[in-house]
Amino acid sequence: MQAGLNAQAMPNNTIFLQDIDLLQHKDLLQHKLLSFCIMPLLFYVLNIMLSNMLNLRNSSLISLKILLVLAVFLFLSSCDEKGSLPERILDKPLIFIGLDGAEWSVMTPMLERGELPNIQKLIDSGVSTGLINPGALISPPVWTTFITGEHPGKHGILDHTFPYDGSIPKQPVDSTLRLKPALWNIASEVGLRSAVFGYFASWPAEDINGLIVSDRALQGFPSSVFPEAMVPEIQKLADKLALKKGENEFLNRYYPWGYRVRQASDPNSPHYKAARLIIGRADRTFLNDELVRQSALSIQSNAYDFVVAYFRSADLASHSFWREYDDSDFANPADPELKKLLGDVIPESYRYLDEAIGDLVEKFGPNANYIVVSDHGFASAKKEIVVQNKFKSVLTGNHLPVGVFIAAGPDIRTMSDVKAGLQVTSLDIMPTLARLLDLPIAENVSGKVLASILTPKFKESHPVRSVAAYEMDGFARPYNSAELVNQAAELGSLTGLGYIGADSDSGNSDALQYDFWNIKDKLIVAHISGELIDAMLRNNKPLAACVYQEFVQNKIHLLKTLLHHVKIRLNTIAQSDRLDSSVKVQKMMSEIKSLGDYSTECRPDAAS
């Protein structure tokens, strides 16, 4: 096994897919094993017959038998490995774990009480800090930024649904909308093998060197798993996690009182009010996370260079049950009965995530590097947000712009060895992941490699390499385009979270073209403010000026709104107690307001 990249060391995609196909068709696998194993057995029998025919002396016959039995044993002992995937290229695999909405203020007291032992081990042996999300606090764009290294205006995923101009019919965003290659596409180009589980907007699954279990696999959507030969195995797992007759035993860990879907429609049920807060949000999402966990644990541990596992349960629990968890910021305290039934759901979601992380660490071992992130944090909404769906769902938790960053592994330093002032933003994740995969870093990437967290030994043995850009015209597209399927359940979930209006109709839209400056004003302000803040945090005033000036050219009537949004976001970031570097809001705002007079030559891709 090699430490660096060597594309020739890997089989091509055709051979790889044949191996995957073999693994997933057990009857074919058994046939191939028999073809390997039966030959020595036949050889053995023929030699015994020959020995008898030649009347060999008894001692010679015994010796021959012993030798042949040993040969047969060696063949049989290797039979279980026939058809398995070749070992990965990298000595140290990279495991990227996404915890949507994970919040330090929830984790810290649980860590102190010893309730999150696996996360604690990663923190103790590596680096941890707050992760700044400077842009829109909308999960699909942020998770796509994590894996492409691009701002949303460049990678094309701008909201939960498309079209972005607010017109209908709508469709939930999917992988066909992504305009830039994901890290698993780039890794495939050089022969690295990736395994991706549940990642936001990964449906339809893409044709890569590896496997993808997309975020729609639990729903059984077509093209939700690649390669197709994996579908039966994933479907078996999904069937066990279905809400059969409106219930599933797995949910008892969150709702030990026995949640049932029908309770949400039965005013006479003692759990009627609780079930209405759960249905369509904090039931299917928890089951989907368990599918991610089981799928990730089912793969061959030594075959993948890059493993991605995305979990959403902390986000859904925090949106839905924050007041039941902590009602200290609310004018009206939580209903005592709801507090009793739902008050532990948020902590339990973190306990589950800790267990999942522990399972992944156990599977891939101490020789792997681990990066754990959340796209944003959470806090009390301080009021009820009533969603206009048929259940009149109530949300009580809201997003914060500082999430979680944890890194640990043999190539990661400990926190005591990292200089003070570590700053991590959502744009830094992809180049850092690429660096750990020994991939070249694109010169036009918006973020930076977090070089200070890497060990001197790693940097010495893996010199930085660069390319002009990750412009891969032929990067792996979905092997089937997004088909016309019933996405009502997904739209209903987004409606239940208040992300989209209740009047959103499901349908297919033209995902090939859109004009950034003609999308909804709210989205333009959110995404441009993110680009502006990110450039200022990096002290890149020329880039900030380009972003600012292009905004003024296209949307000058929204300038006051933009500046107001930027100031609020900077103030919120500055208030976080999880950052290692300070944010000087007044100084930064003064510099931003002067950007209109800043003279600079803007590259075509300097702003969205």
Would you list the DSSP string of 326-356? --TT-SSPPPHHHHHHHTTHHHHHHHHHHHH
Q: CA 434, CA 94: separation in Å to the nearest integer?
A: 10
Please report which confidence band the pLDDT of residue 37 belongs to, taking 50, 70 and 90 as the band edges: very low
Instruction: For residue 413, name the pLDDT band (cuts at 50, 70, 90).
Output: very high
Q: Is the pLDDT of residue 479 over 60?
A: no
Where do the structural domains in the chain lie, given as residue ranges? 7-79, 94-467, 516-608
Confidence band of 84 (pLDDT split at 50, 70, 90)? confident
What one-character DSSP code corresponds to residue 521?
Answer: H
The DSSP 8-state label assigned to residue 412 in this structure reads: B
Q: Which residues contact 257 (CB under 8 A, 6 or more apart)?
A: 271, 274, 341
The pLDDT of residue 494:
58
Q: Residue 516's closest CA among 120, 164, 22?
A: 164
Q: Which two tokens stand for residue 25?
A: 């068709």
Which pLDDT belongs to residue 498?
Answer: 52
C-alpha 352/C-alpha 358 separation (Å) is 10
pLDDT at 228 exceeding the cut of 60? yes
Residue 48: its pLDDT value, please?
A: 52
Q: What is the CATH number of domain 94-467?
A: 3.40.720.10
Query: Are the C-beta atoms of residues 441 and 154 closer than 8 Å to each other?
Result: no
Condensed to tens digits (0 to 9), the pLDDT of residues 92-131 reads 999 999 999 999 999 999 999 999 999 999 999 999 999 9
Residue 365 confidence (pLDDT): 97
pLDDT of 434 over the 50 cut: yes
What's the rounded mean pLDDT across residues 265-281?
94
Least confident window among 315-319, 416-420, 599-603: 599-603
pLDDT value at 252 more than 80: yes
Residues in the chain, total: 608
By mean pLDDT, which of 25-29, 32-36, 143-147, 399-403 is the weakest? 25-29
DSSP track, 155-219: HS--SSEE-TTS-SSBEE--GGG--S--HHHHHHHTT--EEEES-TT-PSPB--SEEEE-TTTTT
For the full predicted model, state whether its pTM sits above 0.75. yes
Q: Could you read off the pLDDT of 92-101 as tens digits, one per residue?
A: 999 999 999 9
Instruction: Tell me the average pLDDT across 141-160.
Output: 96
The string of pLDDT tens digits covering residues 306-359 is 999 999 999 999 999 999 999 999 999 999 999 999 999 999 999 999 999 999
Question: Average pLDDT of 547-552?
Answer: 96
Give tens-digit pLDDT for 175-209: 989 989 999 999 999 999 999 999 999 999 999 99
CA atoms within 13 A on the CB side of 377: 26
Of the pLDDT bands very low, low, confident and very high (cuts 50, 70, 90), residue 506 is very low
User: What pLDDT, in 10s, does the model give residues 364-403?
Assistant: 999 999 999 999 999 999 998 887 666 677 889 999 999 9
* C-alpha span between 205 and 225 (Å, rounded): 6
- Within 8 A by CB and 6+ apart from 341, the residues are 255, 257, 271, 274, 324
